[in-house]
Structure 1
Amino acid sequence: MIPRAPTTALMPVAEAAAALARLARPVAAVMAGLTEAVGGVAAQDVAVAAGLPRDRTALRDGWAMRADSVVGASPYAPVRLARPPAWVEAGDPLPPGTDALLPPEAIGADPLEIEAEVAAGEGTRAPGTELPAGIRLVAAGERLSALHALALAAAGIDRVPVRRPHLRLVGTGPDALTPVLQAWIVARGGTAEIGRAPEGAGGAGAEALAAALADALARPGADAVVVIGGTGPGRRDASAEALARAGRLEAHGVALRPGESAGFGAAGDRPVLLLPGRPDAGLAAWLALGRPLLAALAGAAADPPHVVSLTRKVASVIGLTEVVFLRRVAAGAEPLGGAEIPLHRLAFADSALLVPPAHEGYPAGTPVEVLPL
């Protein structure tokens, strides 16, 4: 077993996240249909070539009309036309010579008498204003949403290049974290498969885990491997030594609470992340290190900040990045706990706060940036 770094030698979280991200390269882009692409990260800008609609189009059902031909029309002073107006359905182009849409009730019993006036353009979409020519619908590095897909489909774009990193999760010993991590990875636009590694003791355990890790890396498809468990100082903890045997161990011990026994490295050209097996520590380490790794593999741009106000004071230890799990409520975000939080409280968390190492915490009412879970 490789001894973990002493507390004074723990790698700062920002430094560890940056070093781990440098081990990752954006994965190759694949062309995907819109349904499949939702949640993935766009590999390039996607823009509209020609403006839409091509013609002035009805936004609702009604009578197509030239606005200046019915100025002043009302039920008391109807304007009489030479011929009845054309009826159009929502989404249809307006007939030539018309520029507005009257509601159905604007015409009484006599189809030639108009009982309401209308402003030019009312009830219609002007040419090129729904999707202007050249407008960028999705930016490179942006995560595609269902609303992106709606606009892309309207523009006639049915396939887009996306990046979807595939991670291989290797659980050691009793493990309940891999299904959670798999769900979180999928929610962030990646894919993940779950594997198991043998559990042993001492050097034999490290050798068996190194073989399992080598096998996980040898099989095609994985852009990174995440090992869950076996990162602590216990007699059966062998993840760090296994990585050192299968590849190279870059760091073991991060200034993170909970999750200080996390580590990372690489084997071949792929990054390997070592997460503690205890739920609070493993999830905290994933938030601090795994999310940046996944973003680097996907070539994802930084997420927009989610800012909420704390309902209670949060205290933190100077020198460590502290992860506090939160539950968003009507008044803001309620702190649930951090290190050693019991599962009955962790189960209610829907976001997390990473308190920087230079802070002692925040008083109640402080607006803070949180990570949605």
Structure 2
Amino acid sequence: MPVAEAVTALVALARPVAVAAMPPAEAVGAVAARDVAVETGLPGARTALRDGWAVEAAAVVGASPYVPVRLARAPAWVEAGDPLPPGTDALLPPEAIGADPREIEAETAPGEGTRAPGTELPAGARLVAAGERVTPLHALALAAAGLDRVTVRRPHLRLLAAAPDTLSPLLGAWIAARGGTAEVVPRPAEADALAAVLARPGADAVLVIGGTGPGRRDAGADALARAGRLHAHGLALRPGESAGFGTAGDRLVLLLPGRPDACLVAWLALGRPLLAALSGAAADPPVILPLTRKVASVIGLTEVVFLRRVAAGAEPLGGAEIPLHRLALADAALLVPPAHEGYPAGTPVEVLPL
């Protein structure tokens, strides 16, 4: 099956997971389920941005150490974040007051050193949009707006891996970075036992790592067919030809090859779109970099090339059968469409950050 066709079919099967409300700090990394906007502008009154003396700017025009301006009463001292006293609209630095606290030795402009009412978080300002991943800065703004809960979608994926398991920690980290959670469960070797595990509830999707090829002990495709429905097995993808997907109950199941390069390629091609569909995530902005060397590809297959981002652009490291010592250098990947024979050096291409 062509990769584009497989992704379309897979995403059509996926449904966004149920929303959950959680504190902003706990929501970081998850995808916002709806727009969040400020209802009432903040601050409610003019506040100090730094420590200083609160004055009316018009009352100290022309003040200097040589020609101080004498006020009827000494100005009030305010700390950063405090509201300004009535009748004041600006701040003077600590050294602006002479020996007599009523004598002002510096002038200031209206609003200097202060935040006007409703300008820190204006009424109606959108703090996070539906489909955006909540960032630490989003959480800061949400907490400052007094919002103790934000509704997000955070898919939970179950990873089935056989020992020795070296891939689930990496996949789990990638899943967490894109707003999901992951649990690791041992993968049974026999088809019946694996089918029983696939049928267990409690996950939004299941990843079967390894056992997906034509080997005599590879039971992934057979087990998925027994547990539900095998929608596709075998993709026009290099590496990752033995990847597949299907359904078991109300859960989507991905079959990922066990070899590291093929597993990671299948995750990039199928897993990332699946996770985005489950979380309701908006499309990521494209990352375009020039290739530092040419890339050759086979017509008719979607070929994935691992890249290392350098000052000059994206350096190709290898694709199918890339050795682990080079794969470990990668921080991005390129999906070469099946109609392309590759790209010459210097070609700007869209890359997927890892």
Give the TM-score, by structure 1 length. Answer: 0.91
What residue number does 1:350 align with? 331
5+ long unaligned stretches in structure 2: none
Report whether the alignment pairs 1:298 with 2:292: no
How many equivalent residue pairs? 354
Measured in 1, the distance between the counterparts of 2:312 and 2:110 equals 46
Amino acid at match of 2:84: L
What residue number does 2:180 align with? 190
What is the Cα-based RMSD across aligned positions, in Å? Answer: 1.6
Measured in 1, the distance between the counterparts of 2:114 and 2:344 equals 52
What per-residue deviation string (whole Å, max 9, x for no partner) do you get for residues 311-365 of structure 1?
2222222222221111222322222111111111111111212122222222333
TM superposition shift of 1:295: 0.8
Measured in 1, the distance between the counterparts of 2:24 and 2:248 equals 34
Amino acid at match of 2:99: A
What per-residue deviation string (whole Å, max 9, x for no partner) do you get for residues 82-109 of structure 1?
2111111100011111111111122232
Report whether the alignment pairs 1:117 with 2:110: no
Pairing of 1:83-102 with structure 2 (within 5 A):
83-102=73-92
Report whether the alignment pairs 1:215 with 2:205: no
Between the aligned residues of both structures, percent identity stands at 80
Measured in 2, the distance between the counterparts of 1:308 and 1:107 equals 56
TM superposition shift of 1:46: 1.3
What residue number does 1:276 align with? 257
Measured in 2, the distance between the counterparts of 1:210 and 1:226 equals 17
What residue number does 1:205 align with? none
Measured in 2, the distance between the counterparts of 1:347 and 1:140 equals 34
8 Å Cα contact 1:217-1:225 kept in structure 2? no
What residue number does 1:39 align with? 29
Amino acid at match of 1:88: V
What residue number does 1:261 align with? 242
5+ long unaligned stretches in structure 1: 1-10, 200-207
Measured in 2, the distance between the counterparts of 1:111 and 1:312 equals 70
Measured in 2, the distance between the counterparts of 1:336 and 1:74 equals 66
Report whether the alignment pairs 1:244 with 2:225: yes
Amino acid at match of 2:248: A
For residues 365 and 80 of structure 1, do their structure 2 counterparts lie closer, same or farther at Cα, with a shift above 3 Å needed?
farther
Amino acid at match of 1:109: A
TM superposition shift of 1:292: 0.6
Report whether the alignment pairs 1:138 with 2:128: yes
Structure 1, 362-371 or 243-252: larger mean CA deviation: 362-371
Residue aligned with 1:14, SS? helix
For residues 246 and 63 of structure 1, do their structure 2 counterparts lie closer, same or farther at Cα, with a shift above 3 Å needed?
same
Give the TM-score, by structure 2 length. Answer: 0.95
Report whether the alignment pairs 1:171 with 2:161: yes
Structure 1, 177-186 or 145-154: larger mean CA deviation: 177-186
What per-residue deviation string (whole Å, max 9, x for no partner) do you get for residues 241-286 of structure 1?
2211211111111121111211111112211111111100100010
Structure 1, 74-83 or 128-137: larger mean CA deviation: 74-83
Report whether the alignment pairs 1:158 with 2:139: no
